[in-house]
């Protein structure tokens, strides 16, 4: 009898575990709900494995996340066949920063110059690499017929802010200055990136726009970019923060790994208690809450913050491009922004579009009502991702 009871309890425990992992929140109108659920379950499981590994003394959570995801993506790439055909791919360094350069063979054979594109990968500044994005960046080089530079920036938390920004701006500047080596027209170089890569692409565009004697970037194309860290209770955070394709919990964890590597502050950030009453009454919070009145103009250097390491950086455009002053937005190149409905980052992407348009920047905005964070990475296996890739490529063909 005791054995039967134990067996029954074990069965119930296993069944409960399976039910837990198979029960994934899926929006009613999402395209291909089975695919979406699989993505959510996968990310949730990977994060649990990474945390458990750290708990039992195997690596840190970020390092474990990297290892597991890299291995998963490597296995997936091996099934895609020779997707690099027609490209010359070179791993090198630009001003000390590791990059991968994709050159269409036809570009090398041509007597004329081609456009170029700097691509900065996503991953919350913490995970992923040029290897993980190899399929996507190779696809861009082939579809556009341009030279693509994929940036291998240093990752947090081992390398906190501004390391990823510094690497991205250095590599981009080097490409602008040495474009002729790759038969590229330095006046036709754009920059792009997704998620944390969109954050870095926007920050680099702002920084290089101020540098004199440097060719101007032709365009910036920002894919569901991260652009602010003062409000983690926007409607899209509140409505979609439970989705495991990118949860509020994970997004806040990534911000903390990048900012100061203090995860004990997660609850403080999730409830917006990392800011101050002064900040919430200032013009900077008005960039997030456009209905806020009155707007009190306060200089960044006079802003008061809670006693949190490096917290003042949340108003630094190198970290949070939405916090750029109006004057810094004027004169930025034509911009493309992609947002997805089921994404905690949707609202801030829309906010950045609005601020750029008010500053007189020409903006093209593609919004996917049934899209989710990470959509573009699945362009070859997910129908809406394929549509998003086609429109993104179409924009770049016009803009470069």
Catalytic residues: 195, 343, 373
Running DSSP on this structure, what letter comes out for residue 253? H
Cα 46 vs. chain centroid, distance in angstroms? 19
Cα 10 vs. chain centroid, distance in angstroms? 41
Residue keyed to tokens 């009502």? 369
- How would you list the strands of the sheet with 87-94, edge to edge? 87-94, 97-104, 147-151, 114-120, 184-194, 220-223, 335-342, 363-372
Running DSSP on this structure, what letter comes out for residue 58? S
Are 287 and 323 within 8 A, CB to CB? yes
Integer Cα distance of 241 and 247 in angstroms: 5
Query: How many residues comprise the chain?
Result: 400
The DSSP secondary structure of 272-323, one letter per residue, reads TTTS-HHHHTBHHHHTT-TT--SPBP--GGG----S-TTGGGGG-TTT-GGG
Integer Cα distance of 259 and 209 in angstroms: 24
Going by C-alpha positions, the residue among 127, 199, 119, 129 that lies closest to residue 156 is: 127
Judged by phi (left if over 0) then psi (alpha if -120 to 50, else beta), residue 154 lies in beta
């Amino acid at each position: 009898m005791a054995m039967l009871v134990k067996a029954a309890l074990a069965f119930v425990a296993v069944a409960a575990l399976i039910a837990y992992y198979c029960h994934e929140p899926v929006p009613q109108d999402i395209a291909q709900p089975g695919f979406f659920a699989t993505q959510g379950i996968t990310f949730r499981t990977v994060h649990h494995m990474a945390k458990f590994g750290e708990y039992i003394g195997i690596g840190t959570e970020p390092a474990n996340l990297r290892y597991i995801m890299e291995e998963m993506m490597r296995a997936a790439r091996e099934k895609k066949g020779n997707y690099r055909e027609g490209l010359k791919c070179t791993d090198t360094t630009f001003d000390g920063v590791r990059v991968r350069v994709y050159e269409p063979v036809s570009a090398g054979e041509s007597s004329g110059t081609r456009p170029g594109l700097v691509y900065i990968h996503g991953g919350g500044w913490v995970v992923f690499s040029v290897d993980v994005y190899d399929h996507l960046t190779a696809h861009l080089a082939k579809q556009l017929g341009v030279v693509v530079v994929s940036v291998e920036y240093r990752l947090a938390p081992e390398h906190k802010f501004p390391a990823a920004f510094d690497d991205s701006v250095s590599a981009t500047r080097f490409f602008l200055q040495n474009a002729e080596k790759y038969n590229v027209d330095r006046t036709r170089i754009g920059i792009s990136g997704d998620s944390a890569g969109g954050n870095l692409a926007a920050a680099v565009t702002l920084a290089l726009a101020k540098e004199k004697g440097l060719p101007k970037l032709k365009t910036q194309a920002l894919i569901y970019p991260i652009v602010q860290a003062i409000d983690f209770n926007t409607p899209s955070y509140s409505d979609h923060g439970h989705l495991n394709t990118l949860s509020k919990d994970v997004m806040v964890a990534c911000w903390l790994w990048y900012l100061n590597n203090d995860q004990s502050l997660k609850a403080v950030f999730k409830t917006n208690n990392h800011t101050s009453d002064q900040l919430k009454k200032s013009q900077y919070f008005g960039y997030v809450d456009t209905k806020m009145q009155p707007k009190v103009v306060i200089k960044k250097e006079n802003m008061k913050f809670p006693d949190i390491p490096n917290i003042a950086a949340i108003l630094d455009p190198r970290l949070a491009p939405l916090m750029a002053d109006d004057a810094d937005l004027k004169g930025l190149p034509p911009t493309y922004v992609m947002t997805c409905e089921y994404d905690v980052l949707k609202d801030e992407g829309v906010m950045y579009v609005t601020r750029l348009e008010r500053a007189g920047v020409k903006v093209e905005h593609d919004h996917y009502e049934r899209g989710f964070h990470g959509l573009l990475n699945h362009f070859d296996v997910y129908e809406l991702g394929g549509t998003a890739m086609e429109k993104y490529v179409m924009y770049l063909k016009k803009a470069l």
